[in-house]
Chain A
Amino acid sequence: MPENSTEEWIEAYLSDELSEQDRADFGAKIQADPELAQTIQNTRQNILLFQAADRHLAKEELRQFYMQQEAKTIPFRNIAFYATVAATVLFLLVYNFYPSGERQSYQEFATAYYEPYPMTFSRSGEGAEFAQMATQAYQAGDYAGAIPLLEDWKAQNEGPDIPTFYLGHCYYQTGAFAMALNEWERITDSSPYFEQTTWFRALAHLQMEQAEKAKEILQYIVDTGYHYKLEEAKALLAAF
């Protein structure tokens, strides 16, 4: 063993930096020396103390950063709040003076064009249990019951597009259109579900009376030439 101080040996031992031979020699030394064994135990505790204290300080720094970010968004939230109030007032004015048939027609269109997306696959491996139960609930039309199962599945899954996609449908079916949109907007254009999701996002916007946004998405489907629901998108656009 080289001539280092005991502290350096302990550090190297705990950090797993010793060669196999040195580790065995030092291990024998620890066995024979209770005082050394105690020192090693104290050093372990000290490292643990460092880890906890440093983690705590890092967490506090991060919390400060987070609070600053949140504080910066508050003025925007206020703007959003007042914008929402203004939009609501405007909506109520329009609602009272506009023929009611046209206002409701967007939702009626969405309802007429929506079809539950089939869920027919099976799955094994991680998350299989939640996947199976979620599929059964979804197929039985128990959309509210499927939501927590899909959330669990999503939480366990590295590539959560499938549960996210169906979670959107469950929210949609239970009338939580904003939640449905929230899920579907997580599905990126690299996902195999993106094309279908685009169509369903348009329907969710219609349900939420966001006709302009819905038209924009429908136009995108037509311009891109998607296969999924292309004719329906054209028909809807023509009807508006």
Chain B
Amino acid sequence: MTDTAFAALKAQILADDPKGLKLVFQECSQYCLRTLRKKTNCDKADAEDVLMEAVLTFRSNMQRGKIAEISNLPAYLYGICWNKWRELQRARQRYQVEENPLERTLYFVVESENPMIEQEQFELEQSKIKFQLKAAEHALGALKEKCRKLLRYFYMESRPLDEIASTLGFANANVAKVSRFRCYQQWMKAIEKQKNLTHA
């Protein structure tokens, strides 16, 4: 990939321009899916799930400035796919991974670089966590887009508060911090509401 092409792709991804991801899929999806299935003998659903995980990680790394250059985009993305595949295999060996896409995503998060919970603790509490997962997903739908982005940037992408403030249009880092706290509380209330609806 030339420097110019890389700079264009980076600009598109930073601006959330769909052309960026379109290019990534066009250039890489068939290669990654084919190679992954050939090398791991996995089924199509697994390969696609791994590809989606890899593209999300790629986008996040690009947005956080973790990628300085790419010589070969398909090979680079395939490298991420391969690591994701190994993460999934580790999770399958360690825990009883259900073939439910939502729960599989939970295992991807637990196996990621900086999990919020230690593995031993997760093993002890996984049934309780899995029990709440659906309610947590529904509760996210109750949050405004800005709130969800704020929590995502902070908890998923570990972006600094001043960067979050400028990206989302808050006056400063302190305002972003207070808003983050409120969004978190809103989300917790929405989870409780979901749980009550389920039990009612």
Q: B98: CB under 8 A from chain A?
A: no
Given contacts A44-B116, A69-B22, contact A55 B72 (CB under 8 A): no
Instruction: Give the complex CA separation of A191 and B2 in angstroms.
Output: 10
CB distance from A73 to the nearest CB of B (A): 8
Q: Which of B7-15, B75-83, B87-95 contacts A (4 or more CB under 8 A)?
A: B75-83
Chain B residue at minimal CB-CB distance from A12: B177
A/B interface sample: 24 pairs, CB < 8 A: A45-B125, A46-B136, A48-B106, A48-B115, A48-B117, A49-B133, A50-B151, A50-B187, A52-B109, A53-B139, A54-B140, A54-B151, A54-B152, A55-B56, A59-B53, A59-B105, A62-B21, A66-B25, A69-B25, A158-B76, A160-B72, A161-B72, A186-B75, A190-B71
A35 at the A/B interface (Cβ < 8 Å)? no
Collect the chain A residues with CB atoms within 8 Å of residue B106's CB: 48, 52
Task: Assess whether B65 is interfacial by the CB under 8 Å rule.
Answer: no
- Whether the pair A65, B18 counts as a contact (CB closer than 8 A) is yes
The number of A-B residue pairs with CB atoms under 8 Å apart is 132
Q: Identify the B interface with A (CB < 8 A).
A: 1-2, 18, 21-22, 25-26, 29, 31, 35, 39, 48-49, 52-53, 55-56, 71-72, 74-76, 78-79, 82, 101-102, 105-106, 108-110, 115-117, 121-122, 125, 128-129, 132-133, 136-137, 139-140, 148, 151-152, 154-156, 180-181, 184-185, 187-188, 191
Residues of A close to B72: CB separation below 8 A: 159-161, 164, 186-188
The answer on a CB contact under 8 Å between A51 and B156 is: yes
Q: Which of B55, B128, B129 contacts A62 (CB 8 A)?
A: B55
With A11-B180, A55-B156, A151-B39 already in contact, 9 other A-B pairs whose C-beta atoms are closer than 8 Å? A11-B181, A14-B116, A48-B115, A50-B140, A52-B106, A56-B101, A65-B18, A154-B78, A187-B72
Residue of A nearest to B110 (CB): A48
Contact (A52, B181) CB under 8 Å given A62-B55, A159-B71, A190-B71: no
Q: How far is the CB of B132 from chain A (nearest CB, A)?
A: 6
For B18, what are the chain A residues with a Cβ–Cβ distance below 8 Å?
A: 65
A45 and B53 CA atoms in complex are apart in Å by 21
Within the complex, which residue of B35, B52, B129 is in contact with A59, where a contact is CB–CB below 8 Å?
Answer: B52
- Smallest CB gap from A49: residue in B: B136
Are the C-beta atoms of B116 and A63 separated by less than 8 Å? no
Contacts of B108 in A (CB 8 A): 55
**Known A15-B154, A46-B188, A155-B82; contact A52-B102, beta-carbon cutoff 8 A:** yes
- Bound together, the chains give a CA A45 to CA B124 distance in angstroms of 12
B55 contacts A51, C-beta separation under 8 Å: no
Give complex CA distance A186, B74 in Å.
8
Cβ of A216 under 8 Å from chain B: no
Residues of A within 8 A of B (CB): 7-8, 11, 14-15, 41, 44-59, 62-63, 65-66, 69, 148, 151, 154-161, 164, 182, 186-191
Min Cβ gap B200→A in Å is: 21
Q: Which residues of B contact A44 (CB under 8 A)?
A: 116-117, 121
Minimum Cβ distance to chain B for residue A65 (Å): 6
Flag if B56 contacts A53 (CB, 8 Å): no
Contact of B56 among A48, A62, A160, A191 (CB under 8 A): A62
Residues in B whose Cβ lies below 8 Å from that of A158: 71, 76, 79
- With A62-B55, A151-B35, A188-B2 given, is the CB distance from A53 to B75 under 8 Å? no
- In the complex, the chain B residue whose C-beta lies closest to that of A52 is B106
- Judge whether A49 and B129 touch: CB under 8 Å: yes
The answer to whether A52 touches B133, judged by C-beta atoms less than 8 angstroms apart, is yes
Complex interface: chain B residues within 8 A of A41 (CB)? 121
User: Which residue of chain A is the closest to B60 with respect to CB atoms?
Assistant: A58
Contact of B155 with A50 in the complex, beta carbons under 8 Å: yes
- Whether B105 pairs with A47 at a CB distance below 8 angstroms is no
